[in-house]
Amino acid sequence: MKDIEIKAKLHACQMHELSMEDQELVQIAKAQTKNSYCPYSKFHVGAAAKLENGIIIRGANQENAAYPSGLCAERSALFAAGANYPDVPVSTLVIACFTDGRFTDDPGAPCGACRQVMIETEHRYGKPMKVILYGEKEIFVFDNAADLMPVGFFSESLSI
Ligand code: THU
């Protein structure tokens, strides 16, 4: 048996260290938490996806009384991007979480299903998708989605 070390890189930073473009996208993701429909969890998640053509697609988590029927914020944004601009790569995705009257101190961690959708989005266009996870105390920046999901499942994984 041999051990394989998995390395993933992220940049931990503060708002002022982001580019103006990324700061604007963070503000949009934060504002999007207001569009969250989360009567069950009361956990408001906002997402903003910037496409290569400059268009910004907004997302927010949408819950449902039949719990599994709901959808996370980042997937709502990425699927809307794919549905409306199927040929345009997603350059940057931002996520922000708001609960108990404030934004979370720690950067919001995307669930596994969202990470899976992120790596497919990135893989489909063959271009890195920057992922920014907002937190009041700290912001995490990933240069690409694959760093959020090592040993990912891709279209190639469907064949031998
Ligand atoms: N949620 C997201 O929108 N994104 C994630 O990656 C994690 C969880 C939502 C789903 C649900 O509406 C609420 O947060 C609590 O889990």
Please report, for residues 23, 34, 45, 104, the alpha-carbon distance to residue 101 in angstroms, rounded to integers and kept in the order given: 22, 11, 13, 9
Tell me what pLDDT residue 20 has: 98
- 3: CA distance to ligand 1 center in Å? 33
pTM, whole model, 2 decimals? 0.97
- 37: CA distance to ligand 1 center in Å? 11
Tell me what pLDDT residue 138 has: 98
Tell me what pLDDT residue 80 has: 98
Mutate to test the pocket of ligand 1, among 35, 40, 61 (most ligand atoms within 8 A of CB): 61
- 42: CA distance to ligand 1 center in Å? 10
Tell me what pLDDT residue 58 has: 98
For the chain, list residues with pLDDT below 70: none
CA distance 129 to 121: 8
Task: Determine how β-strand 90-99 pairs with β-strand 102-103.
Answer: antiparallel
CA distance 89 to 70: 25
Tell me what pLDDT residue 152 has: 92
Q: What lines the ligand 1 site, CB under 6 Å?
A: 38, 41, 43, 45, 61, 63, 70, 72-74, 110-111, 114
Identify the residue whose C-alpha is closest to ligand 1 atom 1: 72
